[in-house]
Homo-oligomer: A and B are copies of this chain.
Amino acid sequence: MSGGSGLAIRPLLEEGKDQELSELLKSLHPADIADALEPLGMDDIVKVVSLLDNQTGADVLVELNSQARDVVAQGLPVERLTGMVQEMESDDAADLVGDLSSDTASEVLSNIGSEDSEEVRRLLMYDGETAGGLMQLELVSVLETDTVEEAVGRIRRMAEEVGDIGHVFVVDSLGALRGEVSLKDILLAGPSDTMAKLITKPPGLVLQADEDQEIVAQKFQKYDVKVAPVVDHQNRLLGRVTVDDIIDVVHEEADKDFYRLAGSSEEELYVKSPLRTAGLRVPWLLFNLGGGIITSLILRAFQASLEKTMVLVAFVPMVMSISGAVGSQSATITVRGLATGRLAGGNILRNLGKEQKITSIIAISFGVVIALISGSLNRALHIGLAVGLSMAAAILVSAFLGAVTPVFFKTVDIDPAMASGPVVTSINDVVSLLIYTAVGTALA
Protein backbone atom coordinates (compact mmCIF):
# COMPACT_ATOMS: atom_id res chain seq x y z
CA MET A 1 0.00 0.00 0.00
CA SER A 2 1.24 3.45 -0.85
CA GLY A 3 2.38 5.69 1.96
CA GLY A 4 1.58 3.48 4.93
CA SER A 5 0.00 4.63 8.13
CA GLY A 6 0.03 8.02 9.78
CA LEU A 7 -0.23 6.56 13.30
CA ALA A 8 3.33 7.66 14.08
CA ILE A 9 2.41 11.34 13.70
CA ARG A 10 0.94 11.80 17.17
CA PRO A 11 3.93 10.50 19.23
CA LEU A 12 6.37 12.65 17.21
CA LEU A 13 4.14 15.68 17.79
CA GLU A 14 4.02 15.02 21.52
CA GLU A 15 7.78 14.63 21.79
CA GLY A 16 8.28 17.79 19.70
CA LYS A 17 10.51 16.01 17.17
CA ASP A 18 9.81 18.37 14.27
CA GLN A 19 12.68 17.13 12.13
CA GLU A 20 11.57 13.50 12.26
CA LEU A 21 7.95 14.55 11.81
CA SER A 22 8.82 16.37 8.59
CA GLU A 23 10.65 13.29 7.33
CA LEU A 24 7.71 11.05 8.17
CA LEU A 25 5.22 13.38 6.46
CA LYS A 26 7.25 13.24 3.23
CA SER A 27 6.86 9.46 3.13
CA LEU A 28 3.08 9.48 3.63
CA HIS A 29 0.27 9.72 1.09
CA PRO A 30 -1.74 12.96 1.59
CA ALA A 31 -4.91 10.91 2.18
CA ASP A 32 -3.16 9.06 5.03
CA ILE A 33 -1.94 12.33 6.54
CA ALA A 34 -5.51 13.68 6.41
CA ASP A 35 -6.84 10.52 8.11
CA ALA A 36 -4.24 10.84 10.86
CA LEU A 37 -4.97 14.54 11.44
CA GLU A 38 -8.76 14.41 11.77
CA PRO A 39 -8.86 13.09 15.36
CA LEU A 40 -6.14 15.54 16.57
CA GLY A 41 -6.68 18.87 18.35
CA MET A 42 -6.77 22.25 16.58
CA ASP A 43 -3.20 23.27 17.37
CA ASP A 44 -1.75 19.93 16.29
CA ILE A 45 -3.62 19.94 12.97
CA VAL A 46 -2.44 23.46 12.14
CA LYS A 47 1.11 22.62 13.20
CA VAL A 48 1.33 19.54 10.97
CA VAL A 49 -0.17 21.29 7.94
CA SER A 50 2.24 24.21 8.35
CA LEU A 51 5.14 21.72 8.12
CA LEU A 52 3.99 20.57 4.65
CA ASP A 53 5.08 22.02 1.34
CA ASN A 54 2.32 23.83 -0.55
CA GLN A 55 1.53 20.96 -2.96
CA THR A 56 1.24 18.32 -0.23
CA GLY A 57 -0.64 20.79 1.97
CA ALA A 58 -3.10 21.36 -0.86
CA ASP A 59 -3.60 17.60 -1.31
CA VAL A 60 -4.12 17.12 2.45
CA LEU A 61 -6.61 20.01 2.66
CA VAL A 62 -8.65 18.46 -0.16
CA GLU A 63 -8.87 15.16 1.73
CA LEU A 64 -9.65 16.61 5.18
CA ASN A 65 -13.23 16.63 6.44
CA SER A 66 -14.82 20.06 6.51
CA GLN A 67 -14.44 20.47 10.27
CA ALA A 68 -10.67 19.92 10.23
CA ARG A 69 -10.43 22.10 7.13
CA ASP A 70 -12.13 24.96 8.94
CA VAL A 71 -9.59 24.62 11.74
CA VAL A 72 -6.71 24.89 9.26
CA ALA A 73 -8.29 27.79 7.38
CA GLN A 74 -8.65 29.73 10.63
CA GLY A 75 -5.28 28.78 12.14
CA LEU A 76 -2.92 28.89 9.18
CA PRO A 77 -1.33 32.23 8.14
CA VAL A 78 -3.26 33.48 5.12
CA GLU A 79 -0.11 33.49 2.94
CA ARG A 80 0.40 29.76 3.52
CA LEU A 81 -3.28 29.11 2.83
CA THR A 82 -3.04 31.11 -0.39
CA GLY A 83 0.04 29.16 -1.45
CA MET A 84 -1.84 25.90 -1.00
CA VAL A 85 -4.97 27.10 -2.80
CA GLN A 86 -2.77 28.03 -5.77
CA GLU A 87 -1.62 24.41 -6.04
CA MET A 88 -5.16 23.02 -6.07
CA GLU A 89 -7.21 22.06 -9.07
CA SER A 90 -9.89 24.64 -9.77
CA ASP A 91 -12.80 22.55 -8.44
CA ASP A 92 -11.03 21.85 -5.14
CA ALA A 93 -9.97 25.49 -4.82
CA ALA A 94 -13.56 26.62 -5.34
CA ASP A 95 -14.87 24.12 -2.76
CA LEU A 96 -12.35 25.38 -0.19
CA VAL A 97 -12.84 29.09 -0.88
CA GLY A 98 -16.62 28.57 -0.80
CA ASP A 99 -16.30 27.26 2.76
CA LEU A 100 -14.11 30.15 4.03
CA SER A 101 -15.44 33.15 5.95
CA SER A 102 -16.03 35.99 3.51
CA ASP A 103 -13.08 38.00 4.87
CA THR A 104 -10.59 35.16 4.50
CA ALA A 105 -12.09 34.19 1.13
CA SER A 106 -11.59 37.63 -0.38
CA GLU A 107 -8.08 37.86 1.05
CA VAL A 108 -7.18 34.51 -0.49
CA LEU A 109 -8.81 35.43 -3.81
CA SER A 110 -6.93 38.71 -4.04
CA ASN A 111 -3.62 36.91 -3.48
CA ILE A 112 -3.85 33.88 -5.77
CA GLY A 113 -3.52 35.86 -9.00
CA SER A 114 -6.23 37.20 -11.24
CA GLU A 115 -6.50 34.16 -13.53
CA ASP A 116 -6.91 31.65 -10.70
CA SER A 117 -9.29 33.87 -8.76
CA GLU A 118 -11.37 34.44 -11.90
CA GLU A 119 -11.64 30.64 -12.29
CA VAL A 120 -12.68 30.15 -8.68
CA ARG A 121 -15.28 32.91 -8.91
CA ARG A 122 -16.68 31.37 -12.09
CA LEU A 123 -16.99 27.92 -10.48
CA LEU A 124 -18.60 29.33 -7.34
CA MET A 125 -21.49 30.54 -9.46
CA TYR A 126 -22.66 26.95 -10.02
CA ASP A 127 -24.80 25.10 -7.49
CA GLY A 128 -22.45 22.73 -5.66
CA GLU A 129 -24.69 19.75 -6.36
CA THR A 130 -24.72 20.08 -10.16
CA ALA A 131 -22.34 19.07 -12.95
CA GLY A 132 -21.10 22.68 -12.94
CA GLY A 133 -20.37 22.44 -9.23
CA LEU A 134 -18.42 19.22 -9.71
CA MET A 135 -16.41 20.21 -12.78
CA GLN A 136 -12.84 21.40 -12.99
CA LEU A 137 -11.66 23.87 -15.59
CA GLU A 138 -8.32 22.13 -16.18
CA LEU A 139 -8.52 20.17 -19.43
CA VAL A 140 -6.80 19.97 -22.79
CA SER A 141 -8.85 21.09 -25.78
CA VAL A 142 -7.73 20.81 -29.39
CA LEU A 143 -9.15 21.84 -32.76
CA GLU A 144 -10.44 19.36 -35.33
CA THR A 145 -7.77 20.64 -37.71
CA ASP A 146 -4.92 20.10 -35.23
CA THR A 147 -2.40 17.44 -36.17
CA VAL A 148 -1.15 14.90 -33.65
CA GLU A 149 2.04 16.95 -33.40
CA GLU A 150 0.11 20.11 -32.56
CA ALA A 151 -2.06 18.22 -30.07
CA VAL A 152 1.03 16.83 -28.32
CA GLY A 153 2.33 20.40 -28.13
CA ARG A 154 -0.88 21.49 -26.40
CA ILE A 155 -0.71 18.56 -24.01
CA ARG A 156 2.90 19.46 -23.21
CA ARG A 157 1.97 23.05 -22.41
CA MET A 158 -0.91 21.93 -20.17
CA ALA A 159 0.86 18.93 -18.60
CA GLU A 160 1.83 20.81 -15.47
CA GLU A 161 -1.61 22.28 -14.87
CA VAL A 162 -3.80 19.29 -15.79
CA GLY A 163 -2.97 16.45 -13.46
CA ASP A 164 -4.57 13.55 -15.14
CA ILE A 165 -5.02 13.45 -18.90
CA GLY A 166 -6.74 10.47 -20.49
CA HIS A 167 -8.57 12.31 -23.28
CA VAL A 168 -8.35 15.62 -25.10
CA PHE A 169 -11.57 17.37 -26.06
CA VAL A 170 -12.08 18.51 -29.63
CA VAL A 171 -13.82 21.87 -30.15
CA ASP A 172 -14.57 24.01 -33.18
CA SER A 173 -13.36 27.59 -33.59
CA LEU A 174 -16.33 28.87 -31.53
CA GLY A 175 -15.55 26.59 -28.58
CA ALA A 176 -18.42 24.17 -29.28
CA LEU A 177 -17.69 20.55 -28.34
CA ARG A 178 -17.26 18.18 -31.30
CA GLY A 179 -16.00 15.02 -29.58
CA GLU A 180 -12.99 13.58 -27.82
CA VAL A 181 -9.75 11.74 -28.63
CA SER A 182 -8.05 9.32 -26.26
CA LEU A 183 -4.36 9.67 -25.46
CA LYS A 184 -3.92 6.08 -26.60
CA ASP A 185 -5.15 6.99 -30.10
CA ILE A 186 -2.87 10.03 -30.20
CA LEU A 187 0.11 7.92 -29.10
CA LEU A 188 -0.53 5.31 -31.78
CA ALA A 189 -1.35 7.72 -34.67
CA GLY A 190 1.08 9.23 -37.11
CA PRO A 191 2.41 12.77 -36.32
CA SER A 192 0.50 14.37 -39.20
CA ASP A 193 -2.87 12.69 -38.57
CA THR A 194 -5.55 15.24 -37.70
CA MET A 195 -7.85 15.17 -34.67
CA ALA A 196 -10.81 15.01 -37.08
CA LYS A 197 -9.59 11.54 -38.09
CA LEU A 198 -9.19 10.28 -34.51
CA ILE A 199 -12.31 11.79 -32.99
CA THR A 200 -14.85 9.68 -31.07
CA LYS A 201 -18.17 11.22 -31.92
CA PRO A 202 -20.42 11.50 -30.11
CA PRO A 203 -18.32 11.21 -26.93
CA GLY A 204 -19.45 8.67 -24.34
CA LEU A 205 -21.27 11.18 -22.19
CA VAL A 206 -21.79 14.96 -22.34
CA LEU A 207 -23.14 16.79 -19.28
CA GLN A 208 -25.13 20.01 -19.03
CA ALA A 209 -23.74 22.38 -16.39
CA ASP A 210 -27.05 22.49 -14.51
CA GLU A 211 -27.66 18.72 -14.31
CA ASP A 212 -28.16 17.43 -10.77
CA GLN A 213 -25.22 15.47 -9.35
CA GLU A 214 -27.38 12.44 -8.58
CA ILE A 215 -28.36 12.17 -12.27
CA VAL A 216 -24.74 12.79 -13.30
CA ALA A 217 -23.61 9.91 -11.09
CA GLN A 218 -26.27 7.62 -12.56
CA LYS A 219 -25.03 8.44 -16.08
CA PHE A 220 -21.38 7.83 -15.20
CA GLN A 221 -22.40 4.44 -13.88
CA LYS A 222 -24.59 3.61 -16.87
CA TYR A 223 -22.10 4.62 -19.55
CA ASP A 224 -18.97 3.44 -17.73
CA VAL A 225 -16.94 6.57 -18.45
CA LYS A 226 -14.01 7.95 -16.43
CA VAL A 227 -14.35 11.58 -17.45
CA ALA A 228 -17.09 13.62 -19.12
CA PRO A 229 -17.10 17.10 -20.67
CA VAL A 230 -19.52 19.73 -19.31
CA VAL A 231 -21.16 22.13 -21.78
CA ASP A 232 -23.55 25.06 -21.59
CA HIS A 233 -26.85 25.27 -23.46
CA GLN A 234 -24.98 26.37 -26.60
CA ASN A 235 -22.82 23.20 -26.42
CA ARG A 236 -19.74 25.25 -25.54
CA LEU A 237 -17.14 23.32 -23.57
CA LEU A 238 -16.94 24.61 -19.96
CA GLY A 239 -14.99 21.98 -18.03
CA ARG A 240 -14.81 18.31 -17.19
CA VAL A 241 -16.04 16.04 -14.41
CA THR A 242 -13.78 13.16 -13.39
CA VAL A 243 -14.92 9.84 -11.98
CA ASP A 244 -13.16 10.22 -8.60
CA ASP A 245 -15.59 13.03 -7.79
CA ILE A 246 -18.45 10.75 -8.87
CA ILE A 247 -17.49 8.07 -6.36
CA ASP A 248 -17.65 10.75 -3.68
CA VAL A 249 -21.10 11.77 -4.94
CA VAL A 250 -22.39 8.17 -4.86
CA HIS A 251 -21.12 7.89 -1.29
CA GLU A 252 -22.56 11.24 -0.23
CA GLU A 253 -25.96 10.50 -1.73
CA ALA A 254 -26.09 7.11 0.01
CA ASP A 255 -24.98 8.73 3.29
CA LYS A 256 -27.69 11.34 2.96
CA ASP A 257 -30.36 8.69 2.37
CA PHE A 258 -29.18 6.53 5.28
CA TYR A 259 -29.24 9.44 7.72
CA ARG A 260 -32.63 10.65 6.52
CA LEU A 261 -34.09 7.15 6.65
CA ALA A 262 -32.97 6.97 10.25
CA GLY A 263 -34.61 10.30 10.97
CA SER A 264 -31.55 12.51 11.15
CA SER A 265 -29.34 14.51 8.82
CA GLU A 266 -25.98 13.91 7.14
CA GLU A 267 -24.83 16.97 9.09
CA GLU A 268 -24.13 14.50 11.91
CA LEU A 269 -20.95 13.62 10.02
CA TYR A 270 -19.53 17.07 10.71
CA VAL A 271 -20.89 17.71 14.19
CA LYS A 272 -18.88 16.60 17.20
CA SER A 273 -21.02 17.81 20.10
CA PRO A 274 -23.54 15.24 21.40
CA LEU A 275 -25.96 18.06 22.23
CA ARG A 276 -25.96 19.39 18.68
CA THR A 277 -26.25 15.84 17.31
CA ALA A 278 -29.24 15.21 19.56
CA GLY A 279 -30.66 18.45 18.15
CA LEU A 280 -30.49 16.95 14.65
CA ARG A 281 -32.41 13.83 15.68
CA VAL A 282 -35.03 15.26 18.03
CA PRO A 283 -37.14 17.14 15.44
CA TRP A 284 -37.88 13.82 13.71
CA LEU A 285 -38.72 12.12 16.98
CA LEU A 286 -41.34 14.77 17.61
CA PHE A 287 -43.35 13.01 14.90
CA ASN A 288 -43.21 9.88 17.05
CA LEU A 289 -44.16 11.95 20.08
CA GLY A 290 -47.12 13.45 18.24
CA GLY A 291 -48.15 10.05 16.96
CA GLY A 292 -47.77 8.69 20.48
CA ILE A 293 -50.05 11.33 21.94
CA ILE A 294 -52.69 10.51 19.34
CA THR A 295 -52.40 6.76 19.93
CA SER A 296 -52.79 7.33 23.67
CA LEU A 297 -55.95 9.31 22.98
CA ILE A 298 -57.27 6.55 20.72
CA LEU A 299 -56.71 3.95 23.42
CA ARG A 300 -58.46 6.21 25.94
CA ALA A 301 -61.40 6.69 23.61
CA PHE A 302 -61.77 2.94 23.18
CA GLN A 303 -61.06 2.36 26.87
CA ALA A 304 -64.55 1.19 27.74
CA SER A 305 -64.79 -1.41 25.01
CA LEU A 306 -61.16 -2.43 25.42
CA GLU A 307 -61.53 -3.16 29.11
CA LYS A 308 -64.15 -5.73 28.19
CA THR A 309 -61.75 -7.30 25.72
CA MET A 310 -58.38 -6.86 27.40
CA VAL A 311 -57.11 -9.55 25.05
CA LEU A 312 -57.16 -7.04 22.19
CA VAL A 313 -54.88 -4.72 24.11
CA ALA A 314 -52.35 -7.49 24.57
CA PHE A 315 -51.86 -7.57 20.80
CA VAL A 316 -51.43 -3.81 20.34
CA PRO A 317 -47.61 -3.92 20.43
CA MET A 318 -47.62 -6.77 17.92
CA VAL A 319 -49.88 -5.03 15.44
CA MET A 320 -47.79 -1.88 15.65
CA SER A 321 -44.52 -3.75 15.31
CA ILE A 322 -45.51 -5.89 12.32
CA SER A 323 -47.43 -3.25 10.40
CA GLY A 324 -44.61 -0.78 11.10
CA ALA A 325 -42.03 -3.24 9.76
CA VAL A 326 -44.01 -4.07 6.63
CA GLY A 327 -44.58 -0.38 5.92
CA SER A 328 -40.93 0.37 6.45
CA GLN A 329 -39.89 -2.40 4.06
CA SER A 330 -42.07 -0.94 1.30
CA ALA A 331 -40.90 2.59 2.07
CA THR A 332 -37.16 1.85 2.24
CA ILE A 333 -37.19 -0.19 -0.95
CA THR A 334 -39.19 2.48 -2.80
CA VAL A 335 -36.87 5.24 -1.54
CA ARG A 336 -33.79 3.35 -2.72
CA GLY A 337 -35.39 2.67 -6.10
CA LEU A 338 -36.16 6.36 -6.56
CA ALA A 339 -32.64 7.38 -5.50
CA THR A 340 -30.87 5.02 -7.89
CA GLY A 341 -33.12 5.82 -10.83
CA ARG A 342 -34.37 2.24 -11.01
CA LEU A 343 -37.85 3.62 -10.28
CA ALA A 344 -38.72 6.27 -12.83
CA GLY A 345 -41.55 6.90 -15.28
CA GLY A 346 -43.85 3.92 -15.78
CA ASN A 347 -41.80 1.82 -13.39
CA ILE A 348 -43.14 3.81 -10.44
CA LEU A 349 -46.72 2.68 -11.00
CA ARG A 350 -45.58 -0.86 -11.75
CA ASN A 351 -43.69 -0.86 -8.43
CA LEU A 352 -46.76 0.30 -6.52
CA GLY A 353 -48.74 -2.56 -8.03
CA LYS A 354 -46.01 -5.05 -7.18
CA GLU A 355 -45.71 -3.75 -3.61
CA GLN A 356 -49.45 -4.13 -3.15
CA LYS A 357 -49.33 -7.75 -4.28
CA ILE A 358 -46.33 -8.54 -2.07
CA THR A 359 -47.81 -6.93 1.01
CA SER A 360 -51.25 -8.49 0.44
CA ILE A 361 -49.58 -11.90 0.56
CA ILE A 362 -47.82 -10.89 3.77
CA ALA A 363 -50.97 -9.36 5.32
CA ILE A 364 -53.11 -12.43 4.62
CA SER A 365 -50.55 -14.96 5.83
CA PHE A 366 -49.77 -13.04 9.01
CA GLY A 367 -53.50 -12.42 9.59
CA VAL A 368 -54.19 -16.16 9.44
CA VAL A 369 -51.26 -17.07 11.69
CA ILE A 370 -52.17 -14.43 14.26
CA ALA A 371 -55.84 -15.43 14.17
CA LEU A 372 -54.81 -18.99 14.98
CA ILE A 373 -52.43 -17.91 17.75
CA SER A 374 -54.79 -15.46 19.44
CA GLY A 375 -57.84 -17.70 18.89
CA SER A 376 -56.22 -20.72 20.50
CA LEU A 377 -54.51 -18.67 23.22
CA ASN A 378 -57.96 -17.43 24.25
CA ARG A 379 -59.89 -20.54 23.16
CA ALA A 380 -62.35 -18.30 21.36
CA LEU A 381 -62.89 -18.25 17.59
CA HIS A 382 -64.32 -14.73 17.48
CA ILE A 383 -61.27 -13.30 19.27
CA GLY A 384 -59.01 -15.00 16.76
CA LEU A 385 -61.05 -13.60 13.88
CA ALA A 386 -61.11 -10.11 15.37
CA VAL A 387 -57.35 -9.97 16.01
CA GLY A 388 -56.38 -11.65 12.72
CA LEU A 389 -58.64 -9.52 10.52
CA SER A 390 -57.78 -6.24 12.16
CA MET A 391 -54.07 -7.14 11.99
CA ALA A 392 -54.33 -7.88 8.26
CA ALA A 393 -56.18 -4.61 7.67
CA ALA A 394 -53.58 -2.62 9.62
CA ILE A 395 -50.69 -4.26 7.70
CA LEU A 396 -52.30 -3.53 4.33
CA VAL A 397 -52.83 0.14 5.09
CA SER A 398 -49.33 0.58 6.55
CA ALA A 399 -47.78 -1.05 3.50
CA PHE A 400 -49.79 1.13 1.15
CA LEU A 401 -48.71 4.29 3.00
CA GLY A 402 -45.11 3.06 3.02
CA ALA A 403 -45.00 2.62 -0.75
CA VAL A 404 -47.02 5.70 -1.66
CA THR A 405 -45.54 8.34 0.65
CA PRO A 406 -42.02 8.41 -0.92
CA VAL A 407 -43.60 8.79 -4.37
CA PHE A 408 -45.83 11.57 -3.10
CA PHE A 409 -42.85 13.33 -1.47
CA LYS A 410 -40.91 13.08 -4.73
CA THR A 411 -43.86 14.57 -6.66
CA VAL A 412 -44.02 17.60 -4.37
CA ASP A 413 -40.22 17.90 -4.44
CA ILE A 414 -39.42 16.77 -0.89
CA ASP A 415 -36.56 14.27 -0.51
CA PRO A 416 -38.30 10.85 -0.57
CA ALA A 417 -35.76 9.53 1.97
CA MET A 418 -37.53 11.61 4.60
CA ALA A 419 -40.66 9.58 3.93
CA SER A 420 -39.52 6.30 5.35
CA GLY A 421 -38.18 7.41 8.68
CA PRO A 422 -40.13 8.69 11.68
CA VAL A 423 -42.68 10.56 9.55
CA VAL A 424 -44.21 7.46 7.96
CA THR A 425 -43.67 5.39 11.10
CA SER A 426 -45.72 7.85 13.13
CA ILE A 427 -48.52 8.09 10.61
CA ASN A 428 -48.52 4.31 10.47
CA ASP A 429 -48.66 4.07 14.26
CA VAL A 430 -51.79 6.15 14.36
CA VAL A 431 -53.52 4.64 11.35
CA SER A 432 -52.77 1.02 12.18
CA LEU A 433 -53.88 1.42 15.80
CA LEU A 434 -57.07 3.15 14.70
CA ILE A 435 -57.90 0.40 12.23
CA TYR A 436 -56.95 -2.31 14.69
CA THR A 437 -59.05 -0.98 17.56
CA ALA A 438 -61.99 -0.09 15.34
CA VAL A 439 -62.11 -3.44 13.52
CA GLY A 440 -61.13 -5.39 16.63
CA THR A 441 -63.72 -3.94 19.01
CA ALA A 442 -66.43 -4.22 16.35
CA LEU A 443 -65.74 -7.94 15.90
CA ALA A 444 -64.72 -9.08 19.36
Tell me the A residues contacting B by CB distance below 8 Å: 1-3, 29, 31, 35, 63, 152, 155-156, 159, 164-166, 182-184, 186-188, 202-206, 217, 219-226, 242-244, 246-248, 250-251, 254-255, 257-259, 261-264, 268-269, 274-275, 277-278, 281-282, 284-285, 288-289, 291-293, 295-297, 299-300, 303, 307, 310-311, 313-322, 324-326, 328-329, 331-333, 335-336, 340, 342, 354, 357-359, 361-362, 365-366, 369-370, 373-374, 377, 421-422, 425-426, 429, 433
Contact = CB atoms under 8 A, between A and B. Distances in A.
Contacts of A357: 274
Contacts of A156: 188
Query: How many copies of this chain?
Result: 2
Contact of A222 (B31, B269, B361): B31
B275 A248 contact: no
14 contacts: A155-B184, A166-B183, A166-B226, A220-B247, A243-B243, A247-B247, A250-B254, A258-B336, A259-B332, A259-B336, A263-B329, A268-B333, A299-B314, A313-B313
Contact of A333 (B205, B221, B262, B361): B262
B288 A315 contact: no
Nearest to A250: B250
Contacts of A222: 31, 35, 63
A187 B186 contact: yes
Nearest to A422: B325
Given A31-B223, A358-B274, A295 B321 contact: yes
Nearest to A200: B2
Contacts of A268: 333
Nearest to A262: B332
Contacts of A206: 1-2
A430 to B, nearest CB: 9
B223 A243 contact: no
A244 B426 CA distance: 40
A284 B324 CA distance: 13
Contacts of A259: 332-333, 336
Nearest to A347: B39
Contacts of A331: 262
B183 A159 contact: no
B329 A314 contact: no
A219 B3 CA distance: 12
A428 B235 CA distance: 56
A203 B317 contact: no
Nearest to A430: B317
Given A165-B184, A263-B325, A340-B251, A318 B333 contact: no
A370 B188 CA distance: 75
A298 to B, nearest CB: 8
